Structure 1
Amino acid sequence: MKKFASTLCIAGVTLTILGVSPQSSYAHLDQIDLNENDPITAGWSAEAPYHSDKSTHLWIAKQAIEIMKTESNIEANKQAVDFLNYPQYKDLFSKGLYDADYNAEFNDGGTGIGGVFKGGWKSHFYDPDTKENYRGETNPTALTQGKKYFYES
C-alpha cells in the first residue's frame, strides 16, 4: 500500500507540474472571473464526483492509475489497479475525492481558493521532515488524519 500511495502521489504531482489538465473543466461560480479571463481558476475544479472531465482530482487520480498500469510488472501496482477499477470501489473512491474538497468534515473549512488562506485542506498535507502541514502545524496533517481513519475503519 505504501508503494501504491507513493506512486499515486508522484503521478499527481508530476501531472500538476507539467501543467496537464482536463480538456474541459468547471470551477465554482464564485471562482470564475466574470470576464472569463482567469484560466487558472476556470481550469481547475472538482464539481462532479463521477466525471473526470469536470473533476480535476478525479482526472489526476485516473491518470495516476493509467501510469500504474504501464508499470504492470510490479505486482503491487497490478493489485492496486485491479482494486481501483473494482466497480463498487470505483464509485466510492470518486465520491471520497469529492468529499475531501467539499465536505467540511474533511476540508478543514476550505472551499474555493480563499479556503487556502483560511487553512483549508491543511489535513491533506504532511512534510515528513518537519512533521507539519503547510500551515506549520503538527495536527491535523495527512499522517494524523490517515491514522485516525485507519483506526476508525
Structure 2
Amino acid sequence: MRKGRDLEKTRKEILDVAFMEVFSHGDVIKPMIIDRWISPLADYENPLDGILKQMKTLIGKSSMENLRLGCPLNNLVQEMSPIDEGFRKRLQIALNLWIEETDMLLKKAKKDGQIKADVNTRHVAYFIVMTHEGIYGILKGLDDPKAFDALYDSLKRYFQAIRA
C-alpha cells in the first residue's frame, strides 16, 4: 500500500526552511527588493514607466510554474507573520523599505512635473506594492496567466490617470 503525502507536514517543513533562511542570512529580502523594484527604476525618467516594465518582465513573462508558487515575500507575510513576531518585524521592515523607496521616487517624479500635483505619492506607493503582491496572489489562485493582461491594463490605466 502506497503511503500518501502529508501535505501539512511538507508545508511546515518548507516554512521552517524559509524561516531559518531569513534568520540565518539576515536580510535576504531587502536586497531582492532593491535589485528588482528600486534600482531598475533609476533608468527611467518617470518611475511609473519603470514600474510597468518591471511588472511586465518579472510577473507578466514569468513561467506558470513560478506564478503557481506566488511571490516569496507575500508567501512569507501570509504564513509567518501570524506565527512569529520577530519574523513579522523583519518582513515589515522589508515592506516599509519598498514603500519608502517607491515613495521617494514618486515624489521626485511629482516635483519634476511627471505626476499630477494633487497626487499623494505615499498612497500610490502603498498601492503599487499592494498591486504587485495582489497580482501574484490572484495569478497563483486562478492558475491563469492570461489574467495578468487584465490586471496590468488596470494598473496602466491608473498610472495614466495620475500622470501630469
**What TM-score range do you get, normalising by the shorter chain?**
0.3 to 0.5
Give the TM-score normalised by the residue count of structure 2. 0.32
Answer 1 or 2: which has greater helix percent: 2
TM-score, reference length from structure 1: 0.33
- Tell which has more relative contact order, 1 or 2 (C-alpha 8 A, sep 6+): 2
Bigger CA radius of gyration: 2
